[in-house]
Amino acid sequence: MESAILPDFSSSLPDRGHSSAVPCRFVILVSGQGSNMQAIVQACREQGWPADIVAVIANREEAAGLAWAQAQGIETACVPHRDYSSREAFDQALADAIDRYSPDYVLLAGFMRVLTPGFVRHFEHRLVNIHPSLLPAFPGLHTHAQALAKGVQVHGCTVHFVTPLLDSGPIIAQGAVPILAGDAPEALAQRVLQVEHRIYPQVARWLSEGRVEMGEAGRVEVQGVESRFFYGGDVQITGGQQ
């Protein structure tokens, strides 16, 4: 029975309410440059969402996103995965570091670790990820190379709730870009990234405004929003035939 394996989101998304006076607390996890995190921070500030980015946490000291966040006056922390002998021990330390900030939502933004089921359960209904493909196509790594190898003509990115099954949770929004003749994975990645910088801040804003709900059969609904599809056909073309 399909319904037996779907997580029950019905009663447990953080209750933000549409006009919540209390800012939504986001913790953002990064492993690298953190350009999605930067896009979220900037949009939050420029657009005045009812939200605070209360911390940026990385699993690598050298993550460029950590230095950027620090320079912005955002609290940062690092939980180096190499310091832990098992995935479970790392995830426990990471969960402890996150819990110190009591977030409403934890946003994975280029956080390059597979998380244990225990960690995912701990943050159930509060853990959101961006994946660089149009899920359910191309879960896992090297998504741009996978798309080119299959010859698909449309590619993109997905923001979704995280469930224990990798890259399979309920979809909140998707963005698409064309694949162009002569595309290399790197050029395609850059094109997709530009759309990521549109859709992840938009989803974070919806979360902060309390618009995101779970509808029937574990599918997301966003109140007051007609389309959760973003077309990135106008993004700057780098590489490929123009």
The site for ligand GRF (CB under 6 A) is made up of 30, 32-36, 109-110, 130-132, 157, 193, 196
Name the pairing type of β-strands 220-222 and 212-214.
antiparallel
In the bound complex, what is the minimum distance in angstroms from residue 225's beta carbon to ligand GRF? 21
Give the active site residue among 131, 144, 155, 160. Answer: 131
Residue written as tokens 């912005």? 72
- Kindly give the pairing relationship between strand 127-131 and strand 154-161: antiparallel
Q: In the 3-class helix/strand/coil scheme, how is 171-231 assigned residue by residue?
A: EEEEEEEECCCCCCHHHHHHHHHHHHHHHHHHHHHHHHCCCEEECHHHCEEECCCCCCEEE
Task: Give the shortest CB-32-to-ligand GRF separation in angstroms.
Answer: 4
Nearer to ligand GRF, 132 or 210 (CB): 132
Q: Which is nearer to ligand GRF, 50 or 57 (CB)?
A: 57
CB of 125 to ligand GRF, least distance (A): 20
Nearer to ligand GRF, 50 or 194 (CB): 194
Verify whether residue 122 is a known catalytic residue. no
Least CB distance to ligand GRF at residue 122 (A): 21
Residue nearest to ligand GRF (CB): 110
Quick one: 16 or 43, whose CB is closer to ligand GRF? 43
User: Which residues are catalytic, by number?
Assistant: 131
